[in-house]
Structures are given as structure tokens and as C-alpha cells.
Amino acid sequence: MSTILSGKEVVKSLKEKIKEKLNKLNSVPKLGIYLKTDDDPARVYSNSIVKKAKKVGIDAQIIEVDPNITHEDFEKLYKDTEGSFDGVIFQRPFPKNVDINLINNIIDPKKDIDSVSSYNLGKIIQSNNIIAPATAVAVIDILKYYDIPLKGANVAIIGRSVSVGRPLVMLLLQEHVTPTVCHTKTKDIPSITKNADIVVVSAGRPKLLTKEYFTTESIVIDVGINVLEGKIVGDVDFDDVVDSVKAITPVPGGVGTVTTYRLLLNLLEVMDA
Amino acid sequence: MSTILSGKEVVKSLKEKIKEKLNKLNSVPKLGIYLKTDDDPARVYSNSIVKKAKKVGIDAQIIEVDPNITHEDFEKLYKDTEGSFDGVIFQRPFPKNVDINLINNIIDPKKDIDSVSSYNLGKIIQSNNIIAPATAVAVIDILKYYDIPLKGANVAIIGRSVSVGRPLVMLLLQEHVTPTVCHTKTKDIPSITKNADIVVVSAGRPKLLTKEYFTTESIVIDVGINVLEGKIVGDVDFDDVVDSVKAITPVPGGVGTVTTYRLLLNLLEVMDA
């Protein structure tokens, strides 16, 4: 039986850090979540952020965004409302007419707590970032909490998204990891994952990775959150893999759980900067 | 005997592109090179840019920078002079009192043709860049010129600098490569380079890589420029390696040669944007 790398344990330590930072503030931090009104999973996630934020003492609010809003109107909506918040998130998926490549012209990098702006992403390349996309940092949070050696480790990342895989390469280089990024065009992924000490899976496809991808020494971090037959499952086939690897994060209760608190901590980090 | 991937051939094709872009302009583009006065290699390189620029029809000028200039005075010098230029380079090494982490507050991303600003680096992560650090793009230029297959290729990058290794990972992901980044903390680099189709070496140490790192199928791109016993040599021990790999770039006459013209092309790209 593998070690289960529970996100709940990591959350406890992040809550402590959040509490410390909140104690230094004289006001209640305000978080704005811009949410397209017609996306149910995004609403479930946003509601859960609001609830968790309230519990730790952060005031998070949802700003309802019409799915058909024009780019210009979204920009105006943002400019009219950003003053009320210390940090903001543009919940994915964005409204279809909002040009994601022009998000930089809208969002204030100082309030961009999930690091979607070019400016904040570039600072990660420069190792000069105070924050990074919350999901990518949650992976690092879990690895560090469980004292998994990073310096010199070979890490295979499955998935090259702008919100996870790509910034994670840079964060792992800051930790002196040797990272390899695999994706749909990669030849023979198992030969790479089997040679890695740690495998981070962010492929966006349910139960894609089975035990053939791993060895008994593999440490598996599953970033995936998918709904399959009414159940939330990861990108790793947990039941198939759990007895044949060294350690694995569960889904739910793994990276996703940590991500929300990392996001709240990111808010306090930018307020502190 | 390996194929020698000469930079000179690539330069010819870049010069064609430069000529095409220049023909569409009504003015002579102006490039400003901010150069610390006491660094001889940087001056040699800057003079060579000026000379090559003039030959293709670009007016490049060196702005002399006192090695002891304060950060504030450098910022003022830049603000007072940037209006004269369509693009600028801050030649490395920077003056010791100039805070590289605040360069973003100085340079205009629209004129930042070697992509040193956070904003321009972040756009590379987002695959929304029109330019990237010239040396990193020069590597891609060489691979593409010689029709070396990139999609699905395993590429080992030796070196994780902000100007080469890190942006190169992102550029290679745009080409559907599977990249691995090696560095001083990497365990068993030869096991990684021997499994790669292409090895890009940017370690900054003369003749570091010998034939033990490669196979007869290796394609080797040497980014290094070092002076050893009065001679310019790469990071790869060319004489040791040349008969035992599939293809290799020479030093000099390889990546460095291409980089200058890519920089000039970057200037025209930002003017076109």
C-alpha cells in the first residue's frame, strides 16, 4: 500500500500561515471572483472558495459575468469593480468574447492572485515572483510538506498548460529539480515517467495513467479533477495504481484541496508585498 | 564525420527576412545598445552588432554607461534617451548598482528586443510572444533551417539561465518538443543527453561536454561562447565530439552568429507589431 499524500494535512499548515498573515492586517481582505454565470462546475468551485475564505476570515465575493459579455464590457465591468478588492480571480472558462491574450490590458498584476498576467508569469521565469498560479504552487506545497527531496530529483510533468505545467517547470527549476515536460506529442511517456522520481499529472483526462506508467518508487501528484460517471476522479487511475507506487495524492482531497488555500495565501502575499 | 550545422547558412535566410521587412519601412530603424564602458568582451560584441546592423541598413548606436552609475541615474539615462530608438538592448553584464529585478520599471516592453522584461518573458509562457530572447530563438532558427524534426523530439537543455534555458523550454513546447532541463544539480546528465534526439548546451563552461555525453544519433547545438587560451570555444569539446555525433554547430560560426541577426530581426518584428 502506498503512502497517501493527503491534501488535508497540507491545508492545516497553509491555514496556520494564513492566520499569521491575517493577524498582521487591520482589515478584512477582499477577494473578487469573476464568474461566468452559465458554468456549473466553476460555480461549485467558486462557492467553495467563498465558503472557505469566510471560515478563515477573508471576504470573497462572486461578480456575475454574462456569458455573452463583450471584451470591452468585461474590461469596463472589471475597471468599475476592481477598486473594491485586494485580489481578483477570473474564473475559467472565460466568456467566449473575452480575449484571453488581452487579459493583461485588463487585470492589475498587483491584484492578479492566480498569476494569469504576462507580467506575473514572466517574474516566475526570472525567479523573482512572490506568487504563481495556485495549482502549480499547490503541487510544490504538497511535495515540501511531505519532505519529498526536490534538489536533483527527476520530475516528469504530464501536461503543458499555461496554468499548471508551464509555470510548474519554472517553480521546479527554482527547487533545483530536473524537469521533463510530456504532452500529447511525447513519444513513449512511460519510459519517461518510470525514470522519474516524481510524476506530476495534469493531463485533463480522467484515469489516463495506469500502473504501467509507474514503478514502486514513483511519487505521484495528480492534479486532475474530472467528473466520470457522476464521481470526481483524477488523471491517474487511483485504484489501479495505489498498491504499486511509493506515494500518491488522492482525488478529491489532494491537490485541489490545497489549491484553494494556496489561492487565499497568494491574496495575502500580494497584500503584504 | 558529423554534419556541421553552420550558422552562416542560417544567417543568409535571416538576412533575406530582414531585407523584406526593411523594404516595407519608410525610415531607417534605430537600435540603442546600452553598454557598460569597462567590459571588453561586451564591447567587442556590441561593436560587431553595430557593424552588422549598418551592413543590413539598421542604425545601431552604443550608449556608454558608467560602470558605477546608480540605479536611479541609469533609469534617468534610459528615459532621456529611449525616445531616439525603436529598440534597445541592455548589454550584459549590467552595471553593479543597477537592480536587474527592477529592469521592468525602466524598459518599455515594446522596445525590449532581447525580451528581458517580465512582461515579454511571460508572453512566451502564454505562447503569445512575437519575440523572445535572441539566443534562445537562434537555437530554434538553426534547428528549423536544417529541417531537424521537432514535433515529438526529446530535447535535453543543459543550463537554466533566464536568457537561454528557461525561455527555450517554452519555445520548444510551442514546437511540440518534449524538453528536459539539466543543470549543476542534475544527476547523471549523460543518461539524459544520450536519450535525447537533440542536446542544446548553454552551460557557460568551456568544453564541458565530451563524447561520453552523446551517441552517433545526437544533434548538438552549442550555445557556449568562452575564451580559453586565447581561443573562442564552446561548451562542447568540439574536437572530441565532432566525429561521434550526427550533427553539431561550430563555435564560433554557430549559434552566436545567428543570434546577432535574430536580434536585428526582433527589432523589425516589434516595429511591425
pLDDT in tens, A213-248: 999 999 999 999 999 999 999 999 999 999 999 999
What pLDDT is stored for residue B246 in this prediction? 98
Q: Is B24 on the interface with A (CB under 8 A)?
A: no
Q: Cα(B68)–Cα(B73) distance, rounded to whole angstroms? A: 10
Q: Is B186 on the interface with A (CB under 8 A)?
A: yes
**pLDDT tens digits for range A122-160:** 999 999 999 999 999 999 999 999 999 999 999 999 999
What pLDDT is stored for residue A7 in this prediction? 98
Distance from CA of B71 to the nearest CA of A (A): 18
Best residue of A171, A185, A187 to probe chain B, by most B CBs closer than 10 Å = A185
Q: What is the 8-class DSSP label of residue A196?
A: -
Q: How many CB atoms lie within 10 A of CB B6?
A: 18
CA distances (Å), origin A94, targets A37, A90, A162, A260, B101: 10, 7, 14, 19, 31
Q: Cα(A116)–Cα(A123) distance, rounded to whole angstroms? A: 12
The answer to whether the pTM exceeds 0.90 is yes
| pLDDT score of A58 more than 90 | yes
What pLDDT is stored for residue B68 in this prediction? 97
Binary contact (A176, B183; C-beta < 8 A): yes
> With contact defined as beta carbons under 8 Å apart, do B224 and B236 qualify?
yes
> Which H or E element spans position B259?
helix B255-272
**pLDDT tens digits for range A65-121:** 999 999 999 999 999 999 999 999 999 898 999 998 888 789 999 999 999 999 999
Q: Is B149 on the interface with A (CB under 8 A)?
A: no
Q: What is the mean pLDDT of residues A246-256?
A: 98
Best residue of B116, B125, B128, B154 to probe chain A, by most A CBs closer than 10 Å = B125
Residues 86-125 of B with CB under 8 A from A: 101, 104, 117-125
Residues of A in contact with B122 (CB under 8 A): 117-125
> With contact defined as beta carbons under 8 Å apart, do B261 and B14 qualify?
yes
Residues of A in contact with B121 (CB under 8 A): 118, 121-122, 125-126
Q: Cα(B263)–Cα(B270) distance, rounded to whole angstroms? A: 11
In DSSP terms, B156 is beta-bridged to: B180, B199
CA distances (Å), origin A218, targets A156, A160, A168: 11, 20, 19
Q: B143, B130, B156: which is closest to A195 by C-alpha?
A: B156
**pLDDT tens digits for range A25-39:** 989 999 999 999 999
Residues of A in contact with B176 (CB under 8 A): 183, 185
What pLDDT is stored for residue A191 in this prediction? 98
Binary contact (B122, A119; C-beta < 8 A): yes
Residues of A in contact with B125 (CB under 8 A): 118, 121-122, 124-125, 162, 166-167
In DSSP terms, B34 is beta-bridged to: B63, B90
> Which H or E element spans position B191?
helix B189-193
| pLDDT score of A1 more than 80 | no
From the list B127, B167, B180, the residue facing A125 with the nearest CB is: B167
What pLDDT is stored for residue A273 in this prediction? 84
Residues of A in contact with B169 (CB under 8 A): 169, 181
Give residue for cell 471560515. A55
In DSSP terms, A155 is beta-bridged to: A179, A198
What pLDDT is stored for residue B227 in this prediction? 92
Q: Is A187 on the interface with B (CB under 8 A)?
A: yes
Distance from CA of B8 to the nearest CA of A (A): 31
Query: Given the DSSP bridges, would you call strands B154-158 and A3-4 parallel, antiparallel or unpaired?
Result: unpaired
In chain A, what are the domains?
26-110 (3.40.50.10860), 133-256 (3.40.50.720)
Binary contact (B127, A167; C-beta < 8 A): no
Q: What mean pLDDT value characterizes chain A?
A: 96
- Tens-binned pLDDT, residue by residue, of chain B (273 aa): 799 999 999 999 999 999 999 999 989 999 999 999 999 989 999 999 999 999 999 999 999 999 999 999 999 999 999 999 999 999 989 899 999 888 878 999 999 999 999 999 999 999 999 999 999 999 999 999 999 999 999 999 999 999 999 999 999 999 999 999 999 999 999 999 999 999 999 999 999 999 999 999 999 999 999 999 999 999 999 999 999 999 999 999 999 999 999 999 999 999 988
> With contact defined as beta carbons under 8 Å apart, do B239 and B202 qualify?
no
Q: Is A185 on the interface with B (CB under 8 A)?
A: yes
From the list B104, B126, B160, the residue facing A173 with the nearest CB is: B160
Binary contact (B152, A187; C-beta < 8 A): yes
Best residue of B100, B121, B131 to probe chain A, by most A CBs closer than 10 Å = B121
From the list A118, A151, A181, the residue facing B126 with the nearest CB is: A118
What pLDDT is stored for residue A48 in this prediction? 96
Residues 6+ apart with CB under 8 A from B207: B226, B228, B233, B234, B235, B236, B237, B238, B240
Q: Is A173 on the interface with B (CB under 8 A)?
A: yes
Q: Cα(A63)–Cα(A40) distance, rounded to whole angstroms? A: 15
> Terminal CA-to-CA distance of chain A, rounded, Å?
43
